[in-house]
Structure formats: structure tokens, C-alpha cells
Structure 1
């Protein structure tokens, strides 16, 4: 019995030893991983965690480096300046990192025009993207949307480096795609991009608490949301209100509850009101806008050659959201205003002669409308308007009927837009990574507060430089593109004034370069498609500064 007892105790000791050995393994941040790009020409940080006082050994390019984890288990090794090249392998204790390149690394940040993916610019650049998107020497990380009001975070979970290949490119930022291609052609060195951007985000969300000290209003706003209980309760309450609004919309929408629903192929719409998509009368009661659901139907003729074919339905852009049916069959939906409506009509759905398209438009709280000077048509073949393929225009007369008039939808608090939150979660974890500099495309969300933008952006630039410990780190600030209808003189003037503020920031801060972009806008799209010219301009500016 005693022998058996000693045997069990011995097994426990062995298991504890193995457990302790397992816990002693080095842990790396997600940025330090397979496929990463290390900055050339500058000392490079490699860091992570381990048990306190554990020895960490790194082997890279046939050289060995050692350090010891501190009392909190943190460690860092600084590699000497490296020459461009690769791929290489790095060994960190028992971890092997593969396919490492050395080149130029850039942080790209801002809002939706920095996020806008390649898939959204295929109308204009489809052929180029199809033929020229295999650049495995370009690596890309897109950070997920995260925010934190408590403290700067040390890592970003779930990210990894992707090579620019035809399989991956559609999710890359369109601006990054064109910038890196052009930059690689100029330098022939690998390029790494860390894209940490969030659509609609204001500049104050990207500044640290320390950096916002001169702006007490924003610090006080941040303090409101430091309570996790408050944030969670607000989310639950707002979610309940939103569900109630949507239930009321559905219950009150006659088009969904009549014996024959309004989207059905055989529905009789002869008593509906004729209208043009771009008319405004249907959107108001004569004075105020009508939120809720609005229905539109249009008959169109299909030839024998077109019948049965797969086709592409283009419905421009719609404010705010829509669900679309063809011959009673649901073909697609978009939940907010900005994306282009590109829906597939499956083969066999279209028939010879009369066909019907039905749009159920949702308005949440603004002015519902169809955006002018966008494609509204059905395309056969590859669905490329510029190819002159067979098409059916959907402009002109439609029939209209109000579905469910509603009060404005309850608002949702965008917690990730609040001060400091994005900095703590999406910038702070990057600060150990050695980079060339920052490309910044943001401002649309601050136009209405343009009087304070110079000070805020200047503070952000100083803040990031301080935390990266690089006082002269290059910043490339992209000018806002032209936007808004020529009739909206006040709005256009505000955007023009904002561009002047951006120029002032570049003129009054060392090593800040303004990238011209005002001439590349589209009056009816806050996300202009020409990211190619812009990407080439950024590339040229960066290249010129490097060769000085």
C-alpha cells in the first residue's frame, strides 16, 4: 500500500513538472507570427511573455540573441537593423516562425475610405484586379473592431498576416492594394501593412487618454463609458427598442400580410401610384419625411435570348436599406445606405415577356431616396457596365405604395466612436512593432467639428509619435475627397474648409505630408472608387521621402 501511495505521489510530481514546463512556454503577440514583415534599416523589436526570469533565445539569420523575462514575465529583444529580403525563419525557444520578410511596414488607419475593400471597386478596376493581384511579397493584417475604455491593451486576438494573392485580395483595402503594388514596383522590397481603421470613426477615438488631456470635454465623455455595467445595460435596452421597432414595422406593413404579398409575381399593382425613382414626393407627407417601409414595383420585358440567363441586378445606392424581389423571388438585401446594390438574378428566374422587380425600401430616420447617377439596370453576361453588354434599363416609371409609416428608428450608441476606445484596443497593441510610419485617411466624421480638428489631429500625431518613441515618425494625411451635390453649397463649403484644416496640420507639423485627393471625389458617393490614383500618389510621396 505504501509503495502504491509513493507511486501515485510520484506520478503527481511528474505531471506537475510537465504542467510547469508547459506554462513556461514563450507566448508571442499575434503580430509576431508566420508571414510577418519586419522593418528594414532600423532596429526591430521582438517581444512576448514567459515565466518571470525565464531565458528567451532567438535565432534569426544565423545570429543568436538572448534575454530574460522580467518579474512580470515580459521580455523584448531588439534586433539590429536588417536588410530587405527573405523569406526567413525565426526560432524563439521552441517556437518556429516561418516565411518572414524584411521590407517596409506601414500602419494604415482612419475610417471607411481606408477600410473600403477591393471588392467594392471592381466596377472600375475589375480587369486589373483579375490580372494583377498576385504579390505574395506584400503582407496584410486587418485588425478587427475592438474598443476598450479601461487601459491600453497589449495584443489583438485573432489576426494573422495574409499574402496579397488572388484568393485574398478582395478583402484587402483598395487603397492599400494600389499603394503597395506601386510602391513595390518602385522599391522592389517587401511591404507589410497593418490596417487598423474603423468606418465612421472620429479622430478622438484614436487618441490616448494622455494625449487627450488638453481636451477635457472628450476625457469627460470617455469617463461616462468606463462602467462596463452601464455599457452593457445600454446595449440591452437599445437592442430591445430596436427589436420592438422592427416588430412594429413588420406587423404594420400591409405589403407583408395581404393574401397576396406585394412582392408576389402575380400581385395586382394597378392602383399603385406612378412615380419616378428619383422623385421626392413619395418620401414626404408634404412637409416631413416618412420613415418606415416604402414599396416600388416595375415591369420589364425580357427577350427570348435573355430569358433563363443568369443576370446581374444593379440598383445604385439606396437610403437607407432594402430587400429586393424578382418575379416574387428574393434576390438580396443591404442593411445600410453606402454599399452599391449588386444582386444576382439566378439562371431560370427570368422568363420571356413581362417580368417584375419589387423593392421594399426601409427608412430609419433620414430622407429616403435612390441616389442619382448610379447604375439602375439589369446586365447580362459578366455584369460589367463598361463592357457594353446586353442590358435592361430600370430608370423611368415605377409604381409606388407606402407600406408602414413609422417614427424614426431608435438610435444605437456607437460605443466604439467614443474617445480613447479605439486607441486602447487597436493602436496600443501595435506600439512595439517597428514601422516606417502612418498613412491616415480620416475626417468625414469630424467635418461638423472642423474648428477643433487641427488641434485634435496634431495631438494624435504627437501622441502616436511619443508612444512609438519616434519623434519624427512620418505621417501621410490624405485629403478628403470632393463630396455632396453642387446644390448643397453649405455642405460643400464645410468640406472645403475641412480640407484647408488638413493642409494646416501638414504645414505646421514636421514630417507630415498632405496627399491631394479633393479632385478624386464623386458628388454622390462618400466612398469614391478611384483608389488607384490615390494609392499611386501615396506611393510617390512615400518613395520620394525615403530617397531624400
Structure 2
């Protein structure tokens, strides 16, 4: 071997040595969970865990609250140190050191931390409810309210120990758009009422059923959900479903685009003669019109004029809600699109687009079911000076292409146990003052077993956090869908009854919301009252304040010949009627055929009669998908809870 070769070999040995040392150093690095990071709020007046990861047998020193604790990383690479937190909010720092490294976590506050979980109404951000709360959004500046959104992921193989992402955000004008509205209004009220920092960890996912938030073991009594969770542990099974869905959806859209006359003839430009197109009144569902129920793509066209003062001005185009997906063009220019039915269509038209005579083209794709423009929403063009152009009324339309219904995508992230493993289990070392739960829309079809499911969830989560008294505050589903002229059966009412069953457990509360929903929107905008009603429950259960937080509930039913006396528990308040007479009550005899009752309020008792029910036995109150006639409240403005006594 030459001298040059020997030098090269020695160099390689040195490089390999340093590479190995570097790798060892990297492996020994302190790694922290995303929750343990700058700006976090830890629960005050309790014992909290500070934890992280490193190589086995690594000595880690944690300095916090004038105390230093040294721990050794365990076999699984986890180290944990516990500290008793005081009431003083801080701010504080935490120093975490090993032999070769130090990490400083800054701007830590001590306060009250709440876990918010559920489906879309719990994750709905402030930007989605902006039409009601512009002042809140513009004036948001609460640096002692911090918000952490858990990444929306699923896992079926086993519970995860860590989150893949997330950060603590201070609540201000830069962050408020993305902060969940219920979380915002709840935390703001608690922060101002208690003068304490408030931390929110939001772990929610739109469309998720309760089964996805339960562990595999807790699903054992529910064979269908348990089998589903087991099946989705198989990666090949999941991949095959994903691939099959992708192929089917891509083929459907490829077929649609190939057949769409609107694409072939470039209707989006708007320079078309639509006089031969059919006429439709917007808003309405297509099934109520000459168009009929179509799956595929339909194009809509409207012209309107503007004066010189508004020509070229920036404007907001409100197109209510559209089922399913839309793309919007103004004067041939693409303005925006929405790919699914639920968000409000609020589009910005830039300057220099609008002219004296204008054309709007809306391309609507309906994949399945009933397509259309949802009624009782805004359809107009708004200018900064307050002027509006009304877009309700006659539009022209033409069918671009009609296809067979597209079978829905399989949403794997909604499957049983997946969200518990990925979005709840990584949180169980963090301490909370309570849990806010807003979920149930996706379980209306199996509402008859929801009472046991939600009690199972509460028991499991209390076990996970080793706190039998962990408060749970549940939002009862709001009024939704068309109201009925006559008493009828209702799956939504059954769900509300199941949700109310959590009151069988200690340290729970229900926020009744049957008065603040929207018949045509499963995501009602009024989240301020939801947050307020949850905050009332927290003030009593967590903070021991003497406040009325419970809605009136029917306490007893007494049958007397041809009438029924319904006695309410008002929990220290009094009943109030919004109107001349109590409404929303139906009674039935032994045939269980219900008729609306004439009602009279006497103090905290309602007396019910009906000429159609000679010998009444059963009553229902606010028993409907949308009980919009129910008008019993307490003096604090909380609506009486739905009720029936014929469930046996």
C-alpha cells in the first residue's frame, strides 16, 4: 500500500469515527413533545408532568419553579418529571439539560387548561362565523389565552405517544381566524370572569362519529365498531380502499369533464347567448324546480348592471350555500371555488373586474343526492359603501352533463378507534380543568346506543387522566332541518335524549342549544351562546360559583283525568314563556298518537289538554329535529330541555 493510500485510509477511519460520534450525539438529543413548547399554559394548583425523549439511561435535569429534578430516561426512551404548580400565573421558564445539551422553554403561564373535542361544530373556526362577530375578530387581543390545535390524524395499529405537530398560539388578531369559535367564546369568558390564563387544546375532526374517539378495548361491547377497528389495523386493507376510492372518483370526474358541454363550449367566459337556456329561481333545491334532481354538472348564468360609482370597485359576492361544489366566474374571470357543500360561499371580487354590465357564471357539480342553492341565505353582491345587488330570483341554467351518482368516499379517518389513538392518547400526560364535548351529528343514525357510548367515552377518558371527577360539559345538538306542522318521530330528538343521559354521571353538564340552531345549516353561526352556556357550567362545577347554569328540565308528570300537569325543575330560577302561551308540547293516550296540546303556565307547572286526547298518558316537549315552536326558558335565557315519557 502506497503512502498516499495509507493517508486516504486513515482519513476514512477518522471520518467514520466522527460520523459515529455525531450519530450518537444526535441519538442522545433531548426531544420534546409538541405540547411542551414555548407559550404553553400548564394547569395551575396541581401536579403536572414535564416529559420528553432521549436515549435509554440518559440523565436529564429539569429546572422549573425554583426546583431541579434529575431523572433517567427509561427503557422506552421516555423521561418524566413532576412538579406541583402554584396559583401564580407567571410567566415562567423551564430549563431541560443533559450532559451535552440544554433546552429553554419560554413564556410559560399557569392557568386553567381545557380539552375541546368532537366534530365540526367544535372545530369550526372564527373565520367561518365572521359575519356575526366582526368586532370580536377585529379587537381580539388576549395574550393570556393560548390555543393548541391537535393535528388531524388517525392511527389504528396502537395508541400513539406523541403528536406530529402543533404549536401554542396567543389569541390575537393574527391567530383568531383559525381558532375554534366555541373554544374562543368559552375561554374568553372564563379568562375575564376568573382573571386567569386559559389554555385550550382542541382535538376535533369534522364528520367524526363517537366511535372514532374510543379505544379498541372500549369498543368490544359494540361488535360492528370493534370489527371495523380491527379491520382497519391492516395497512394493505386501508391502502386498497384508498386506491379504489381514488380510481373511482378520478374516473367519475374524468367522465364528467369529457362530457361537459360547458367545458367544451367555454361557458365560463360568460360571452354566451343564454336566452335559450331554461329559467330557475335561486335559491332552491333542484328537485323543486324544472331542472329536477340531477347528478353531474349544471351551469348557471345571470347578468346585472352597475352604476359608474361601483364600476371597477372591489366587492363581496355572497352565494349562500351550494350543494355540492361550485366554481364562480365574473366577466370571464375566475373568482373562487368551494369543493363541498357546507362552507358559506363568500367570494371577493377584486378591483377592475366589475363593469357596467356584468355576467356571473356558476358551475355547480352535484355528486349525489339533492343538489341546489340553500334557502334563507344571503345571495347578493356587497360593496364597501353598503350598497348591494340582490341576486335572488331568476337565473338561466343549462345542464352540462348528467352522470350516475358518485358513491361516497370512504373516510378512513372517521373509522373506529383511529382518532383516539392519534389525537387523544398523546395528550393523557397533560392536565386539564375539564373537557368540552360537541359531537353527535354523525351518530344520529345510531342514536339509540349513544347513551352508552358517551358514558363509555367519559369513563375511559377519566381513567386515562386518572381523574374520576374530571368535568365533562356536553353540547346538546342544536335545532336543525325543516320543522314539522304535526308531532312526529325524530332521530335528532333521540340523540338529544341520549346526550342528556350524561347527567346520570357526576361532574357533568349539558348545554341545551335547541333555540340557536339554523334549519338549513348543520353549522349554525351562533357559537357565542354555546361558549357562554358551557362557561356557565364551568363557573359552577369547576369554580364553585353560585350561578344558574342548568336549563329547566321536566321533573314530574301527573295525569289528572283529561289533563296532564308537567312540573319543571328550574334549579333556582323561574320559567319564562317567549310568547303568549307555552308551545312545543304534544300529548297522547294509550295509542301513543300525539297531538299538539293547549298549554297553560302556572308558576313552574304547565297544564296540558287536547280535545283529541280524552285520556292522556304521555307527553313530549320539543321532540323534533327542529323544535322551533318550543318556547319555555328560564329567567337567564336558557331553553328548557327536550323531554318525553313514552320511551319504554
Report the counterpart of residue 46 of structure 1 in structure 2.
50
**1:142 and 2:142 equivalent?**
no
Residue 50 of structure 1 deviates from its aligned partner by: 1.6
Q: Root-mean-square deviation (CA), in Å?
A: 2.0
Q: 1:213 deviation in Å?
A: 2.0
Aligned 8 A contact 1:245 1:410 in 2: no
Which residue matches 1:127? 135
SS in 1 for 2:275: coil
Give the deviation of 1:40 after TM superposition. Answer: 0.5
Equivalence for 1:247: 254
CA offsets 1:289-342 (integer angstroms, 9 cap, x no match):
210011111111111111111111000001111111111211111001110001
Query: In the alignment, which residue of structure 2 is the partner of 1:109?
Result: 117
Query: Which has the larger helix fraction?
Result: 1
- 1:318 is matched with 322
Work out the CA distance in 1 between the residues paired with 2:184 and 2:489.
Answer: 29
- Aligned pair in 2 of structure 1 residues 6, 249: CA closer, same or farther (>3 Å)? closer
Q: Secondary structure at the match of 2:501?
A: helix
Q: Pick the aligned partner of 1:265 from 262, 266, 270.
A: 270
Residue 523 of structure 2 is matched in structure 1 by 527
Retained in 1: the 8 A contact 2:295–2:405?
Answer: yes
- What secondary structure, in the 3-state scheme, does the structure 2 residue paired with 1:162 have? strand
1:193, distance to aligned residue in structure 2 (A): 0.8
Residue 407 (structure 1) shift:
0.6
Q: TM-score, normalised by structure 2?
A: 0.80
Give the 3-state SS of the residue equivalent to 1:519 in structure 2. Answer: coil
Select which of 537, 543, 547 maps to 1:541.
Answer: 537
8 Å CA contact retained: 1:43, 1:82? no
**Partners in 1 of 2:21 and 2:169 — Cα distance?**
38
Distance 1:541 1:402, change over 3 A: same
Match of 2:311 in 1: 307
2:380 to 372, 377, 381: 377
Contact 2:31 2:54 (8 Å CA) reproduced? yes
2:447 corresponds to? 450
Determine the C-alpha separation between the residues in 1 that align with 2:12 and 2:264.
Answer: 71
> Matched residues in 2 for 1:381 and 1:285: separation?
36
> Contact 1:84–1:190 (CA<8 Å) still a contact in 2?
no
Contact map agreement 1:51 1:69 (CA 8 A) in 2: yes
- Tell me, yes or no, if structure 1 residue 345 matches structure 2 residue 345: no
> How big is the shift at 1:410?
3.1
Q: Give the whole-Å Cα distance in 2 for the aligned partners of 1:154 and 1:467.
A: 13
Structure 1 counterpart of 2:510: 514
Distance in 1 between the 2:283 and 2:27 partners?
65
Change (3 A) 1:487 1:347: farther
Is it true that 1:435 corresponds to 2:439 in the alignment?
no
Which contiguous aligned blocks of 4+ residues in structure 1 show a shift greater than 6 angstroms? 1-8, 282-286, 488-492
Residue 176 (structure 2) aligns with: 169
Q: Whole-Å Cα distance in 2 between the matches of residues 242 and 3 of structure 1?
A: 62
| Equivalent residues of 1:175, 1:535 under 8 A apart | yes
**Retained in 2: the 8 A contact 1:39–1:82?**
no
Q: Check if 1:368 corresponds to 2:376.
A: no
The structural deviation recorded for 1:279 is 4.5
Per-residue CA deviations over 1:328-379 (Å, capped at 9, x if unaligned) read 2111110011100011111111112x21111111101010011111000000
Residues in 2 aligned to 1:114 and 1:211: alpha-carbon distance in whole angstroms: 23
* CA–CA separation in structure 2 for the residues paired with 1:379 and 1:44: 51
User: How big is the shift at 1:495?
Assistant: 1.4
> Per the alignment, do residues 281 and 186 of structure 1 end up closer, same or farther by CA in structure 2, a change over 3 Å counting?
closer
User: How far did 1:22 drift?
Assistant: 3.2
Structure 1 unmatched runs, 5+: 383-388
Aligned partners of 2:471 and 2:542 also within 8 Å: no
User: What is the rounded CA distance, in whole Å, between the counterparts of 1:398 and 1:6 in structure 2?
Assistant: 82
Aligned to 1:20: 24
- Do the aligned residues in 1 keep the contact of 2:132 with 2:525 (CA within 8 Å)? yes
Contact 1:372 1:524 (C-alpha < 8 Å) held by counterparts: yes
Shift, 1:51, TM fit: 1.6
Does 1:298 pair with 2:314?
A: no
> 1:254 and 1:21, CA in 2 relative to 1: closer, same or farther beyond 3 A?
closer
Residues 511-542 of structure 1: CA deviation (Å, up to 9, x unaligned): 11111222111111111111111112212211
Give the distance between the partners of 1:489 and 1:51, measured in 2 at CA. 68
- 1:484, 1:491 within 8 Å by CA — same for their partners in 2? no
Decide which of 184, 205, 211 is 2:191's aligned counterpart: 184
Indicate how the Cα distance of structure 1 residues 247 and 18 shifts in structure 2: closer, same or farther if over 3 A, else same: closer
Tell me what 1:386 maps to.
none
Say if 1:345 and 1:490 are closer, same or farther in 2 by CA, change over 3 A. farther
Partners of 2:9 and 2:257 in 1: CA distance: 70
3-state SS in 1 of match to 2:305: strand
Deviation at 1:62, TM superposition (A): 1.8
The structure showing larger relative contact order (alpha-carbon pairs under 8 Å, at least 6 residues apart) is: 1
- Post-superposition offset of 1:44: 0.1
> How many pairs were matched up?
536
1:116-149 deviations in Å (ceiling 9; x for gaps): 0000111011123212x11111111111211111
User: Cα deviations across residues 237-272 of structure 1 (Å, max 9, x unaligned)?
Assistant: 2101111110111111111112xx223232101101
Q: TM-score, normalised to structure 1's length?
A: 0.94
Q: Deviation at 1:101?
A: 0.8
